[in-house]
Amino acid sequence: MNVSFVQRVSINSALTLVFVIGSANAAAYSWTEIIIPSIGPVGAGGINDLGQVVVQSPDDSKAGIYRNGVFTPLPALPAGYKFNLVWGINNNGTVVGGVYPPTDPTHEQGFILIRSKYTFFSRPGWNNTEARAIANSGLITGYSYTDDVSTTAGFVYNPATGTFTDATPPGSGTGFSVTQGMNAAGRITGDGRLADGTRRYGFIWQQGTLVKGTHPLAPFLAQFRIEDAGTAARGINDAGFVVGFTNTGLGFVGSDSRDFELLVPPGGDAPGNSVACEGINNFGQVVCGVSDVNGNTIGEFIGTPDTTDQQ
């Protein structure tokens, strides 16, 4: 495919591309299982360039950072707060996610953890706010949602100014979008719905004009589906490689210029099992989870590419 494709697709004319990949195209990765005996099975989110991964226990009571076999718990939340999701970490070690506050324990707020200090935030006009990732720039991506989750809206949040930018792709049906990744160029990833409201697509979105050297890169929105299945894009690195998953249980990595490949951690190809990939760093390392047919976690894995193809 043309390397500059996504740079030339306008937001108003975005088409949904369908990529067909097979098991023969599985990317070559070495897999390391995230094992923390003191917690047991964990959920894992983003990974930074230091190899740090944010993890949490299934009951959300324990959360921390895993690196090279060592688990470091996060500082205790203020009294009465409870973790819902701990999902993003940048190269400065800043962690983001969602919590339930003691003053309103049924509605989610976003949190930012810098060293030992927690800061909480909510998007005006929404009952629930969840932070999913934090870029090295400090900008936070996530989504807001109604109590019945019938309507969601992705966002980019600037904690320095306290401002939100909506990140629901134009034309997304039923007001549904989730935003998660952001790279150094400010390109974001996530998922939305096609106009019929039923078909989920992944997106890569540059919301404003960027200047690369002396050449301006116009805003674009690239929509894609893997195997024509419901698709969610999650992490993106500075080289433009994206990870994510489909509703049929496929994990994937790739870009528009090099196409997409399957990610298959141990157990990911067993009948009935599903793979969901959430994070990627600038060394091409990925974080993927495997679950069984009932949605129970079998394992979370860090994948390291066997070649330098994605660095």
Does residue 57 lie within any of the structural domains? Answer: yes
Q: Compute the distance between CA of residue 295 and CA of residue 277 in angstroms, rounded to an integer.
A: 15
Q: 37 CB contacts (<8 Å, ≥6 apart)? A: none
The enclosing H or E element of 6 equals helix 5-8
| Residues in a beta bridge with 82 | 100
Closest C-alpha among 303, 272, 295 to residue 41: 295
Closest C-alpha among 151, 104, 155, 103 to residue 131: 155
pLDDT of residue 7: 37
Q: How many structural domains comprise the chain?
A: 1
The enclosing H or E element of 26 equals none
pLDDT of residue 67: 97
Does residue 158 lie within any of the structural domains? Answer: yes
41: number of Cβ within 10 Å: 15
Does residue 245 lie within any of the structural domains? Answer: yes
Does residue 310 lie within any of the structural domains? Answer: no
Q: Are 223 and 201 in contact (CB under 8 A)?
A: yes
Contacts 24+ apart (CB under 8 A), 295-299: 297/41, 297/42, 297/43, 297/58, 298/267, 298/273, 299/33, 299/34, 299/41, 299/265, 299/266, 299/267
Does residue 311 lie within any of the structural domains? Answer: no
pLDDT tens string, the chain, 311 residues long: the values are: 233 333 344 455 567 888 888 777 788 999 999 999 988 889 999 999 999 999 999 888 899 999 999 999 999 999 999 999 999 999 999 999 999 999 999 999 999 999 999 999 999 999 999 999 999 999 999 999 999 999 999 999 999 999 999 999 988 877 899 999 999 999 999 999 988 777 899 999 999 888 777 788 888 899 999 999 999 999 999 999 999 999 999 999 998 777 899 999 999 999 999 999 999 999 999 999 999 999 999 999 999 998 755 44
Does residue 177 lie within any of the structural domains? Answer: yes
Q: Compute the distance between CA of residue 107 and CA of residue 26 in angstroms, rounded to an integer.
A: 40
What CATH code is carried by the domain that includes residue 261?
Answer: 2.120.10.30
Does residue 141 lie within any of the structural domains? Answer: yes
CA 216 to chain centre: 27
Range of the domain at 170: 5-305
Q: Compute the distance between CA of residue 153 and CA of residue 70 in angstroms, rounded to an integer.
A: 36
